[in-house]
Amino acid sequence: MNTNNKIHIADFKDPKGVKGLLRIISYTKNFRYFNKKGCLIYENKQINSILKIIEEKKNIFIVQLKDILDRKEADFFKNKKIYVDRKNFINQKMNKNEFYAVDLLNCSVKDHKNIVLGKIKSVENFGAGELLNIIKKNKKSFLIPFNKDNISYVDLLKKKVVVTPLSGLLD
């Protein structure tokens, strides 16, 4: 799937129960907005109905999708990514230090001495915050937490991220 004009906002996780309920982890504070607008996409397919939100705890949603009636049908969605077309973000306000993960991809990563460490291959989240997956010239990769302790600044126009990783992080 070509994701150039799409922003990854959530993932389907394990179903809940036997009645076809789906568990979703959201990476945006605006999940309810996009759901209500009916603009959610998975694997290049439009989700044809608005998800009925049954339960919400922080960024985890339990939802019912029309025509999904049992766990077996819900299993089909497990680990699929949910996207929104970038055009739906035009009116979304962002804070000064907020970025779309897609905009960070392929940015050059340098340290405070201007030494190139690599390029951002992906932005990961395993539950404890965003991590920059950086690939070096030798094709080996490493992870740096995307937080104020490790990131000095981001310049999207120059496609550059300057890091000051905590001591020992790159050793």
115: left (phi over 0), alpha (psi -120 to 50) or beta: beta
Mean pLDDT of 105-132: 89
What's the pLDDT score for residue 51? 84
Kindly report the pTM of this predicted structure. 0.66
Residue 37 has pLDDT above 70, yes or no: yes
For residue 52, give the amino acid letter.
K
- Non-local (6+) Cβ contacts of 29 within 8 A are none
* Domains along the chain with CATH numbers: 6-86 (2.40.30.60), 101-163 (2.30.30.240)
